[in-house]
């Protein structure tokens, strides 16, 4: 019994006591800097895999803090490694840094007027998903934590990731490429945290969901082959347009009759059909492109297997042929249930109990999911909607974030790192 008490009282001397936090005054000092960085990045947005100047700014900042800095990870990615004063695990904090081919319509002093060419067309460039705020928040976290290595048991890895919105066609990029180039190794990452600002979530609040929180995104291409004929004599050919209609119908029966819908949603959408040239010709071929969204690994397997089974067989039943190719864009953004419940007290401590809300999943995708396939991770949503205002939509020219929400992001990410390493 005596021994037990002895050991109990010694624990704090060997590490950092739980409940360690950064003084509020220091957070207050960093807020104006975070907003300044955000405005600079917002005014100078760069498209996926082209974040050259953004990466330079991040690297210069990390180096100025004395943080070991790697550049060119996954093309334009930047990685910072901060060692705490005490040994321990390694936690990664991730921010995505790319902008979108959207022309900004907001009337702001730091409005983007940048123009570029994207897939052959002229376009404006805008941080229309808020990755500028993620970048500035993580720069702020790096500054705060670099001044408090005495509070860190282990190592913090800062991952500034390019191309979350997807690399240009024919290029690799994003989380998958960073992982391929070893970002989760040396030192090996034990857990990862990430956030997304949300223009429809009120400032000062955090939203989260354990397990599938965002969907796996697949893109599929179906090619149907029939036999060309005169439009007046369908019996002399095989109509790929009719077969396409049957296939679309068949695909929707997978959702309505095969997928288990009580636990998690799933979606199949055919977004584009191309076939034929004029009214009186039955064409030879048709092409359909679409997407599948799933939130549960078993459901995903079942749906994709059924699609591969159904598509060629439907075509065959009508005398034609069809092939399907399914390409994965993101995995399921899967919040490890144990990690989520362990870190929930941190979210509540920082944001206030009533400001942390359990929400439904969304069928959008996020490539943070690839990190979560390798290590336990938690991805949550940070309020960016101004009080008493209408929410704006991500990826639109009017997308707007209230900067007063950024400090909560800095506090949350900093405290998640400290608490994870000290638990």
Annotated catalytic residues are: 98, 164
What kind and span of H or E run contains 202? strand 191-202
CA–CA dist 357, 353 (Å, integer): 9
Provide the minimum distance between the beta carbon of 76 and Zn ion in the complex, in angstroms, as a whole number: 16
| Options 22-30, 127-135, 249-257, 328-336: segment touching Zn ion (CB under 5 A) | 127-135
408 scored as a contact of Zn ion (CB under 5 A): no
> CB nearest Zn ion: which residue?
129
Binding mask 71-110 for Zn ion (x = CB under 5 A): ----------------------------------------
Shorter beta-carbon distance to Zn ion: residue 399 or 420: 399
Question: What are the start-end ranges of the E strands in 331-376?
Answer: 333-335, 356-358
Please compute Rg for the chain using Cα positions: 25
- Counting Cα atoms < 13 Å in the Cβ hemisphere of 241 gives 15
Shorter beta-carbon distance to Zn ion: residue 59 or 95: 95
Residue 386, beta-bridge partner list: none
Who contacts 161 (Cβ-Cβ below 8 Å, separation ≥6)?
74, 77, 94, 95, 96, 97, 174, 175, 178, 367
Shorter beta-carbon distance to Zn ion: residue 123 or 149: 123
Provide the minimum distance between the beta carbon of 293 and Zn ion in the complex, in angstroms, as a whole number: 15
| Options 64-72, 129-137, 276-284, 367-375: segment touching Zn ion (CB under 5 A) | 129-137
Kindly report the CA angle at 413 between 92 and 136, in degrees rounded to 5?
A: 95
129 scored as a contact of Zn ion (CB under 5 A): yes
Shorter beta-carbon distance to Zn ion: residue 155 or 330: 330
Under rule CB under 5 A, which residues in 344-383 are in contact with Zn ion? Answer: none
| Options 7-15, 123-131, 148-156, 291-299: segment touching Zn ion (CB under 5 A) | 123-131
Size of interface with Zn ion, in residues (CB under 5 A): 1
Residue 267, beta-bridge partner list: 293
137 scored as a contact of Zn ion (CB under 5 A): no
Shorter beta-carbon distance to Zn ion: residue 306 or 394: 394
CA–CA dist 242, 224 (Å, integer): 10
How many other CB atoms are found less than 10 A from the CB of residue 230? Answer: 11
Shorter beta-carbon distance to Zn ion: residue 93 or 129: 129
Provide the minimum distance between the beta carbon of 197 and Zn ion in the complex, in angstroms, as a whole number: 8
SS3 breakdown of the chain: % helix, strand, coil, rounded to 5? 35, 30, 35
| Options 18-26, 126-134, 182-190, 219-227: segment touching Zn ion (CB under 5 A) | 126-134
Sign of CA dihedral 186, 38, 133, 47: negative
Provide the minimum distance between the beta carbon of 368 and Zn ion in the complex, in angstroms, as a whole number: 9
Footprint of Zn ion on this chain (CB under 5 A)?
Answer: 129
């Amino acid at each position: 019994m005596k021994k037990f008490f002895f050991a109990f009282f010694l624990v704090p001397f060997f590490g950092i006591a739980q409940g360690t936090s950064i003084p509020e005054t220091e957070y207050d000092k960093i807020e104006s800097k975070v907003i300044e960085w955000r405005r600079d990045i917002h005014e100078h947005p760069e498209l996926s895999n082209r974040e050259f100047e953004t990466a330079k700014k991040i690297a210069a900042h990390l180096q100025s803090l004395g943080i070991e800095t790697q550049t060119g990870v996954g093309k334009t990615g930047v990685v910072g490694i901060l060692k705490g004063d005490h040994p321990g695990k390694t936690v990664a904090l991730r921010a995505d840094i790319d902008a979108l081919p959207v022309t900004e319509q907001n009337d702001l002093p730091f409005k983007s007027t940048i123009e570029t060419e994207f897939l052959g067309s002229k376009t404006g460039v805008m941080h229309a998903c808020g990755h500028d705020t993620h970048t500035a928040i993580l720069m702020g976290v790096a500054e705060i934590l670099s001044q408090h290595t005495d509070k860190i048991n282990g190592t913090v890895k800062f991952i500034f990731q390019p191309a979350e919105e997807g690399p240009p066609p024919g290029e690799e990029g994003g989380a998958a490429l960073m992982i391929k180039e070893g970002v989760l190794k040396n030192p090996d990452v034990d857990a990862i945290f990430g956030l997304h600002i949300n223009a429809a979530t009120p400032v000062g609040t955090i939203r989260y969901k354990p397990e599938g929180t965002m969907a796996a995104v697949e893109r599929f291409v179906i090619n149907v082959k029939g036999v060309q004929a005169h439009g007046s004599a369908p019996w002399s050919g095989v109509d790929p347009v009719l077969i396409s209609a049957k296939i679309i119908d068949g695909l929707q029966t997978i959702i309505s009759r095969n997928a288990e819908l009580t636990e998690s949603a799933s979606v199949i959408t055919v977004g584009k059909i191309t076939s034929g040239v004029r009214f009186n010709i039955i064409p030879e071929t048709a092409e359909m492109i679409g997407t599948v969204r799933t939130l549960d690994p078993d459901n995903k397997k079942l749906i994709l297997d059924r699609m591969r089974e159904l598509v060629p067989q439907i075509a065959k039943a009508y005398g034609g042929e069809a092939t399907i190719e399914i390409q994965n864009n993101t995995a399921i953004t899967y919040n490890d249930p144990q990690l989520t419940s362990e870190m929930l007290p941190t979210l509540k401590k920082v944001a206030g109990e009533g400001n942390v809300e359990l929400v439904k999943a969304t069928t959008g995708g996020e490539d943070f999911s690839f990190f979560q396939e390798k290590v336990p991770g938690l991805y949550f949503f940070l309020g960016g909607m101004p009080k008493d205002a209408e929410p704006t939509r991500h990826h639109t020219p009017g997308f707007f974030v209230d900067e007063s929400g950024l400090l909560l992001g800095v506090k949350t990410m900093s405290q998640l790192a400290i608490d994870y390493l000290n638990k």
